[in-house]
Amino acid sequence: MRDISSTSFAAFGAVLIAISYGVARFAFGLFVPQIRDDLALTTYTIGIIGALPLVSFLLSTGFAPVLANRLGARYSAMISASFGVAGLALISQAASAMTLGIGVFSCGICTGLMMPALTTGMQALVKRTLHARVSSFMNAGTSIGIMVAVPTVIFMTGAWRTAYLSFTALAIVGLCATWFFLPSVSRLTPANAAPPPPLGELPWSRLIRVSLFAFLMGFVSSAYWIFAPDLVITLGGVSAGATGWLWFAVGVAGLGGAVVADLADRNNPPITQALMLMMLSTSMLLLAANPAQPGLTLFSALIFGLSYMSLTGLYLMTGIRLLPGRLSAGPVLPFMAVALGQATGSPVIGRLIDLFDYTYAFSLIAALGIVVAILSPFYPGYIAQAQEEPEEEAGLQGAYDYQLQDEEGHPLEEASEDPLEEAQPSA
């Protein structure tokens, strides 16, 4: 195992995120129409199955930081990739709702374990001044993975099993590469870092508010992630292969989400959150309004991709800032809230579609998104905090800088110019 530079670590991390998030988790919605028809599943059943990877994501995320700290980045990432291989293989051979459910549940475990494993490696190997850059690059892997899944839908129309076999092969390559390229290191907390504040002194009001907003955003967005391709096929008469361009647009626009989130944190997060939630809701209304119009559906996907990735990036920064000194909990808390919202929303929306229709269900969920946007002044943004706390740098790098503080509450200085000097092999 050779030393790995910050750039190489970011690039390989993005590849693993592309497989675990983009392919293993978010690609499922693309194949819902084909899977539903082949296995004779109702929309409500699809909604329940669509919630399973989110449930397993929540469960695995809860113990992922502990696993990563004990086993190190390489071995925890290999365990994650192994669940991805098993889940994708099971989906490709699914003959019933039960087998399909087990497969997507396993994929959710893969997703939940991967980011904490990579974050552990980043904290140990990458200089803190580069954390924002590396984290943003790795997060972009989600959008890249979504786009990678598109050709399989376009060129393998009606062959979803073959598509998932190709995903399985890709995950196997990622598993093998992890052994060779990812170091076995664990996150280290410098001895001169101030201890995290006691639980009783945490800003619980703000943590609860950001968690509620993340939950509601996840609830609203689940309609698009699980049912958008099926809506376009059912109401718009679009071919299954053509829906791939929908996800391609989501992925392309999602690449800009990190930039928007960083700018939002530097200006006015509550207002930006309101704007992004309005865009998220608008994307659903546009999709349901005229799904037979390709230009309108692609525009809808662009809006959804940008708004969704911007919101998740904003919640990530807020979670890190509100939990200084807690390297595991800060990045994980908002994503757990989003996943819980999606796990709750998927079966609810599936039931609404069964009882009424796609247009009614998407319109109702869009209305909920607008109501949440109106409540955005309650979001615990940077501007609101600045009146009560010492001024700190905004943006993702500012959030990472203040993760570790000295006794006076200032960002902890790097102990070494070479982050590899601070990293040790995991036990």
First-residue to last-residue Cα distance in the chain: 16
Which long-range CB contacts under 8 A does 403-410 form with residues at least 24 apart?
403/128, 403/320, 403/324, 403/325, 403/327, 403/330, 404/128, 404/189, 404/190, 404/193, 404/194, 404/324, 404/325, 404/327, 405/193, 405/194, 405/324, 405/325, 406/192, 406/193, 406/194, 407/194, 409/194
- Dump the DSSP string for 302-323: HHHHHHHHHHHHHHHHHHHHHS
Kindly report the pTM of this predicted structure. 0.82
Same fold, 1-186 and 202-389: yes
Domain ranges (residues) in the chain: 1-186, 202-389
Q: Which residue has the tokens 């959030």?
A: 399
Which superfamily is assigned to 1-186 in CATH?
Answer: MFS general substrate transporter like domains (1.20.1250.20)
Q: Do the beta carbons of residue 404 and residue 189 sit within 8 Å? A: yes
244-254 vs 204-236: helix crossing angle, rounded to 10: 150
**SS3 state of residue 41:** coil
The CATH T-level fold of domain 202-389 is Growth Hormone; Chain: A; (1.20.1250)
Question: pLDDT truncated to tens, each residue of the chain (427 aa)?
Answer: 456 778 888 889 999 999 999 898 888 888 888 898 899 998 899 999 988 998 999 899 888 888 888 888 899 999 999 999 999 999 999 999 999 999 999 999 999 999 888 888 887 778 877 777 788 788 888 888 888 888 887 777 778 899 999 999 999 999 999 988 888 876 666 555 556 666 666 778 888 999 999 999 999 999 999 899 889 998 988 887 778 888 899 988 888 876 776 676 666 789 889 999 999 999 999 999 989 898 999 999 999 999 998 898 888 888 887 877 666 666 788 888 998 999 899 999 999 998 988 999 999 999 999 999 999 999 986 533 434 444 456 566 666 666 666 665 666 666 544 443 334 433 3
